[in-house]
Amino acid sequence: MKINRTAATLTAAAVIAAGTAALGTGAAASPAPAPKPTVVLVHGAFADSSGWNDVIQRLQARGHRVVAAANPLRGLASDSAYVAGLLKGITGPVVLAGHSYGGEVITNAAAGSPQVKALVYIAAIAPDKDESANDVLGRFPGSRLPESLDATPYNRADGTAGTELSIKPDKFRESFAGDLPAWKTSVMAATQRPIDAGALGDRSAAAAWRDLPSWYLVARQDQAIPAAAQRFMAERAGSHTVEVDASHAAAVSQPNAVSDLILDAARSVR
């Protein structure tokens, strides 16, 4: 019997085309995976964005875009407005993390933001509305910062006189980063960013943790914000909480624990 090879070839091609089309339809029907949230990191007083370096590497390795904000440290309202403006330039959901005074900034910057889906506090001040950092530290004694600070006059941008606070170099390690080697804390002391003294007395205009899920890392060896104060704020906010044996500079000394907590928060974002 003579086989019509042309007809057979056309039939086979039709079957292959139909199978390919079916596969294509199935792929189109499968929803694309949701983009991972951007992580925005906000440093606190007496530090800069480089304190997040090891955390950033770990978050990027897990596929997250990371933005480390340069916190101006000039006043809670203006610092929060700066970070809020930064958030508006980011597309998609955001996990917002703050260390130390940076916790106050994220608490205000996230208020009313549709992008921020989770807050992460790293040994941070998580104020209630109308509460200041000084209020929290006054309620929980034990901080070694007051005896470690230098006050320096400076001129603000509007021409008014202000006072900057920085940690004395010989006090930096014991009050800020006691679990890090001296050579490292010497560099951190030299590169620290001073804060306007008024910022620590500024009262929070919002408490975003009342409306957003939050995570909190308590640093048990913290000599700047006592661990008891951190536990109080974490419990008040209903935060998912972990505790680590770390100084105030937990992001530098315990980057794995810090990045793991941020990743936990990021996984909650849908």
240 burial class (0-12, 13-18, 19+ CB within 10 angstroms)? middle
Average pLDDT per 10 consecutive residues for the chain, totaling 270 residues: 43 42 48 84 98 98 98 98 97 97 98 96 98 96 96 93 97 98 98 97 98 98 98 98 98 98 95
Residue 107 three-state SS: helix
Query: What's residue 35's pLDDT?
Result: 82
Q: What token pair was written down for 81?
A: 């407005």
Query: What's residue 65's pLDDT?
Result: 98
Query: What's residue 221's pLDDT?
Result: 98
Contact 168, 71 (CB under 8 A): no
Query: What's residue 32's pLDDT?
Result: 64
Please give the domain boundaries of the chain with CATH numbers for all domains. 38-267 (3.40.50.1820)
